[in-house]
């Protein structure tokens, strides 16, 4: 089959590789019908996530049709059209039983690597380096899905791929980010980063009852999408200091909660962002927390900081005093996608949201390397790329 393989920083290629096989009784094999490039794939593409190996198949946002089932999968049939959570979860362990699916105890075969870095290992992820299991991803023609009996969601015929594809990651990720804000009536939520996760966090904050949502980015078309699709107020941080602007816009109180939908490769305008880029480029710092620093200072007293943006290692000069002295609550982590599949599918079915509005580019899998370049440099006003085999 054809698959998009990582061969090093800024080097991904469509290779011919063997088709995946059933390896365990709870596996399924899917024929991919649609797959997307995620902002977090760019962290791999840019070489910031350790433990990638040349030849690794990328991609964790994908859906398709079941073509083969392991002997223990009884609740799905060949031919079912399904979406797949990017977090792999067994459904049997203590973490899964508490609905902390992205912290599954059992799905990472390389747990020892994650334990060395993080103390304990979270769930395995598709196509996201060997620390997270080394599972082959879904930017391919076929994919093997472990624990298929627990993870898959069957999709009704009347919904298109583009309407449901983002249930795999970015829609639940944006939604959980907003849910973590514990939104109460009258609340203002500020969202840093208007990529796809930021867009869904904005939409979800309104769905969960936010009075106002203020979106912060520097890319005009992303701010425009936040404004037009969700009704957010916007701040371009290259034009105005977001901390000052937020204070003025909220009667001097500051936002009740802030969402970091940027993560470890933040850009910025100040000296600190140059400092981080320099340190990160020589690997003295793995993550560049420009957005998170701003957030901790900008968030109002007693507020909540919700972090869906990916961090992988260590960061410098985090203003922990701002967080401590304002009594902030920090909530973060990979998304417990399994919790959100059905409720968010219902929102889509009822017409509350059609997540396909974030798609700006549709390409063939063969053109994926070009897609990564376009997405990385935000060329052609690119926000989200969907690939079909």
Contact footprint for other proteins (CB under 8 A): 1, 3, 5, 7, 13, 15, 17-21, 23-26, 53-57, 72, 90-94, 97, 105-109, 111-112, 115, 124, 133-136, 144, 146-147
CB-wise, 26 or 384, nearer to other proteins?
26
How far apart are CB 165 and other proteins at their closest, in Å?
A: 22
The strand pair at 28-37 and 61-69 is best described as: antiparallel
How far apart are CB 130 and other proteins at their closest, in Å?
A: 9
**Structural tokens at position 145:** 């899905």
How far apart are CB 106 and other proteins at their closest, in Å?
A: 5
**Structural tokens at position 208:** 């969960």
Q: What's the CA gap between 256 and 209, in Å, rounded?
A: 13
- The DSSP H or E segment spanning 321 is helix 320-325
How far apart are CB 21 and other proteins at their closest, in Å?
A: 6
CB-wise, 20 or 300, nearer to other proteins?
20
DSSP symbol at 214: E
CB-wise, 10 or 92, nearer to other proteins?
92
CB-wise, 72 or 117, nearer to other proteins?
72
CB-wise, 47 or 55, nearer to other proteins?
55
Q: What's the CA gap between 121 and 14, in Å, rounded?
A: 31
CB-wise, 52 or 344, nearer to other proteins?
52
With 0-12 CB in 10 A as exposed, 13-18 as middle and 19+ as buried, what is 385?
buried
How far apart are CB 22 and other proteins at their closest, in Å?
A: 9
Q: Which residue has the tokens 């943006």?
A: 309
How far apart are CB 4 and other proteins at their closest, in Å?
A: 8
SS3 245: helix
SS (H, E, C) 132-197: CCCECCCCECEEEECCHHHHCEECCCCCCHHHHHHHHCHHHHHHHHHHCCCCCCCCEEEEECCCHH
How many other C-beta atoms can be found within 10 angstroms of the C-beta atom of residue 15? 14
Q: What's the CA gap between 208 and 178, in Å, rounded?
A: 8
């Amino acid at each position: 089959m054809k698959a998009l393989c990582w061969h090093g920083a800024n080097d991904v290629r469509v290779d011919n590789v063997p088709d995946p096989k059933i390896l365990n009784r709870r596996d399924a094999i899917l024929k991919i019908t649609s797959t997307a490039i995620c902002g977090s794939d760019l962290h791999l593409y840019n070489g910031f996530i350790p433990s990638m190996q040349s030849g690794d198949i990328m991609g964790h946002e994908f859906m398709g049709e079941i073509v083969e089932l392991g002997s223990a999968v009884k609740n799905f049939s060949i031919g079912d059209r399904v979406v797949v959570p990017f977090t792999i979860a067994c459904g049997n362990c203590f973490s899964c039983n508490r609905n902390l699916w992205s912290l599954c105890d059992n799905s990472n075969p390389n747990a020892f690597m994650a334990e060395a870095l993080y103390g304990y290992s979270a769930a395995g992820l598709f196509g996201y380096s060997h620390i997270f299991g080394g599972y082959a991803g879904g930017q391919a023609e076929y994919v093997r899905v472990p624990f298929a009996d627990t993870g898959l969601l069957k999709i009704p015929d009347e919904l298109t791929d583009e309407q449901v594809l983002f249930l795999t990651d970015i829609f639940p990720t944006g939604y959980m980010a907003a849910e973590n804000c514990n939104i109460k009536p009258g609340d203002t939520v500020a969202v840093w980063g208007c990529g796809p996760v930021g867009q869904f966090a904005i939409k979800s904050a309104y769905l969960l009852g936010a009075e106002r949502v203020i979106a912060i980015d520097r890319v005009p078309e992303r701010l425009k999408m936040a404004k037009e699709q969700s009704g957010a107020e916007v701040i371009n941080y290259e034009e105005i200091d977001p901390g000052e602007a937020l204070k003025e816009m909220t009667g001097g109180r500051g936002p009740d909660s802030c969402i970091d939908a940027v993560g470890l490769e933040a850009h910025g305008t100040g000296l600190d962002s140059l400092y981080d880029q320099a340190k990160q480029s020589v690997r003295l710092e793995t993550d560049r927390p420009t957005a998170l620093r701003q957030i901790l200072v900008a968030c109002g007293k007693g507020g909540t900081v919700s972090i869906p943006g990916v961090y992988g290692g260590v960061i410098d000069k985090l203003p922990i005093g701002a967080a401590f002295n304002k009594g902030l609550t920090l909530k973060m982590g990979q998304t417990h996608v399994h919790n959100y599949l059905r409720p968010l599918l219902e929102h889509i079915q009822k017409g509350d949201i059609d997540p396909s509005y974030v798609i700006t580019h549709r390409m063939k899998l063969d053109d994926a390397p070009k897609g990564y370049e376009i997405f990385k440099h935000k060329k052609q006003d690119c926000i989200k790329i969907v690939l079909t085999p």
